[in-house]
Amino acid sequence: MSSPAWRRIALTLVLLFGAAEAHNTLLPAGAVRYAPSGVPDRVVALPGEDPSTALTIAWRTDASVATARLQIAVAGDAPDLADAAREVRAHSTSLETGNRAARHHHARVTGLQPGTLYAYRVQGQDTWSEWFHIRTAAREPEPFSFLYFGDAQNSVKSLYSRVIREAWRRAPGAALMIHAGDLVSGRDQRDDDEWGEWFEAGSFLHATALVVPAAGNHEHFEAGAGAAARYVLSPHWAAQFPVPRTGWAELPHTTYSFDHQGVRFIVLDSTSAIDHGTAAGQAAWLEPLLADNPNRWTVVAYHHPMFSASLGRDNPSLREHWLPLFERYGVDLVLQGHDHVYGRGAHLGEGAHADSAGAGPVYVVSVAGPKQYRLSPEAQRAMDRDAENTQLYQVVHVSPERLRYESRTATGELYDAFELVKDAAGRKRLVTAQDSLMAPRRCPHPRTPSGRTDRCWDGVEW
């Protein structure tokens, strides 16, 4: 029987007898797969305040490892890496989870040489991790590539893993991986299992390229009740992602910036901006970073879109406080998530498309995981390129003269592409690709397996 026929039968059964049990991880009920041990796991590299001379490495063990160390050396061809390695003592903190008590460690490594390949390993209980390679940024602007992912969030190991792995196959030398929030779902009391799947989905990639995470609403949980209820950042976030200490003082774990080979990267916290009214405070921190910026390019990442692409969503406080700064100071690329569709547009703040001289910021929303929503009619009218029912990753190639953006499907097909080109005076134009792109993708399902008509796919296993 054909796949569409099976789907019609499944949907009929759901409507007649109710939704089957949904699974957000691959673990059967009661299984313990991601408990910490004395062996280091969840190793992740993050940028330092200056990625040409510093980086931060984080990892996890069980509570038996009270203190831990990192060893790092210039990578060589001989196996005697430990002989020349220097040791850095880690900062350690405890975290209670459903998978027992863990110790999260991180080492902020400084004094590195720019543009140099290093090997490092991290300590557990009477053991070490494998040696990982990572390269520091060059001191001056040089070409490089980075990856950008929208929400992974659901069925992370089952269905998101293929996306990050295909992305790495497409761009194996990528220096950075930007995650625009909702890395996990985090709301079904199995947070640690979900984080276990997220780290397993990317495996060694998280330790080999710099991870640049933006916190989404699903990295927060609701604490309190009634009028006193408020969203609070998950304790996993700060423990796992010790970001550069360059952010707004009020949000040190979710706002930060750094420069990498001619690009200023800025990460904002849209969840706090919307739910706690901090958009203006973040804007006050942001403006000097944009006004005094010696870099050729500026890329901003956060979770909730400036211009929503899916049904029934809108974030006016971001347009009130952040949009004027993006436009005034010439931000080049704005990377977002949250809406579980694909949408890309420029000059949206002025209600016009732009593919000529004087291009403003290009706003992108994308989705890497399996939860898929539906486009709003407004987005279909305003966006230059959009999609439903499509898992995507993005590769961005940077040089001093141009920024080339490619959005590719989970199977590697080119779905969207454009170039931002700057002349010697800094004047910018947007050149969009017209040929060799797939036809616009639309949702073929009248409703999801759970019976919802406002989504194309629920994102969980049935």
Given this model, what pLDDT does residue 433 score?
Answer: 82
Last residue in a domain, options 135, 168, 196: 135
Say what angle helices 161-170 and 191-202 make with each other, to 10 degrees: 20
Last residue in a domain, options 100, 135, 170: 135
| 312 and 339 in a common domain | yes
- Report the CATH number at residue 84: 2.60.40.380
What is the C-alpha to C-alpha distance for residues 417 and 424, in angstroms, rounded to an integer? 23
| 128 and 149 in a common domain | no
Is residue 81 assigned to a domain?
yes
User: Does residue 226 carry a pLDDT above 80?
Assistant: no
What digits encode the pLDDT tens for the residues 35-89? 999 999 999 999 999 999 999 999 999 999 999 999 999 999 999 999 999 999 9
| 394 and 372 in a common domain | yes
Name the residue with higher pLDDT: 178 or 462: 178
Number of folded domains that form the chain: 2
What the block records as the tokens of 249 is: 């003082």
Listed in order, strand segments (DSSP E) in 129-283 are 132-135, 144-149, 176-179, 210-213, 220-223, 230-233, 256-260, 263-267
Report CA 371 to chain centroid distance, whole Å.
16
| 231 and 91 in a common domain | no
Of all residues in the chain, the percent with pLDDT exceeding 70 is 92
Domain containing residue 204: 144-457
Name the residue with higher pLDDT: 264 or 221: 264
CB proximity list for 234: less than 8 A, separation 6 or greater: 186, 191, 219, 220, 221
| 206 and 78 in a common domain | no
pTM: 0.93
What the block records as the tokens of 350 is: 């002025």
Work out the pLDDT band at 462, boundaries 50, 70, 90: confident
| 191 and 215 in a common domain | yes
| 208 and 80 in a common domain | no
CB proximity list for 269: less than 8 A, separation 6 or greater: 214, 215, 251, 254, 255, 278, 282, 302, 303
Given this model, what pLDDT does residue 350 score?
Answer: 54
Q: Write the DSSP symbol of residue 157.
A: I
Type of residue at 123: Q
Name the residue with higher pLDDT: 378 or 355: 378
Of all residues in the chain, the percent with pLDDT exceeding 90 is 83
User: Does residue 358 carry a pLDDT above 60?
Assistant: no
Q: Strand, helix or coil at 286?
A: helix
Given this model, what pLDDT does residue 436 score?
Answer: 79
> What is the mean predicted confidence (pLDDT) over 331-356?
79
Taking the CB of residue 338, how many other CB atoms lie within 10 A of it?
28
Is residue 17 assigned to a domain?
no
| 247 and 175 in a common domain | yes
Name the residue with higher pLDDT: 111 or 225: 111
> What is the mean predicted confidence (pLDDT) over 9-23?
50
CB 367 within 8 A of CB 456: no
* Average pLDDT over all residues of the chain: 92
Given this model, what pLDDT does residue 12 score?
Answer: 46
What digits encode the pLDDT tens for the residues 151-161? 999 999 999 99
On the CB side of 400, CA atoms within 13 Å amount to 7
Listed in order, strand segments (DSSP E) in 90-143 are 91-97, 100-109, 117-122, 132-135
Given this model, what pLDDT does residue 65 score?
Answer: 96
Q: Write the DSSP symbol of residue 204.
A: T
Report CA 20 to chain centroid distance, whole Å.
30
Last residue in a domain, options 135, 168, 186: 135
| 432 and 318 in a common domain | yes
Work out the pLDDT band at 116, boundaries 50, 70, 90: very high
What is the C-alpha to C-alpha distance for residues 228 and 183, in angstroms, rounded to an integer? 27
Is residue 14 assigned to a domain?
no
User: Does residue 142 carry a pLDDT above 80?
Assistant: yes
What digits encode the pLDDT tens for the residues 444-461? 989 998 999 999 999 998
What is the C-alpha to C-alpha distance for residues 91 and 108, in angstroms, rounded to an integer? 9
Measured between alpha carbons, how far apart are the two ends of the chain, in Å? 19
What is the C-alpha to C-alpha distance for residues 398 and 261, in angstroms, rounded to an integer? 9
Work out the pLDDT band at 117, boundaries 50, 70, 90: very high
| 176 and 312 in a common domain | yes
Query: What does residue 224 show for φ and ψ, rounded to 5 degrees?
Result: 85, -175
Query: What does residue 57 show for φ and ψ, rounded to 5 degrees?
Result: -115, 130
Is residue 439 assigned to a domain?
yes
- Report the CATH number at residue 390: 3.60.21.10
| 128 and 159 in a common domain | no
Is residue 129 assigned to a domain?
yes
Is residue 211 assigned to a domain?
yes
| 125 and 194 in a common domain | no
CB 37 within 8 A of CB 65: no
Is residue 11 assigned to a domain?
no
Is residue 379 assigned to a domain?
yes
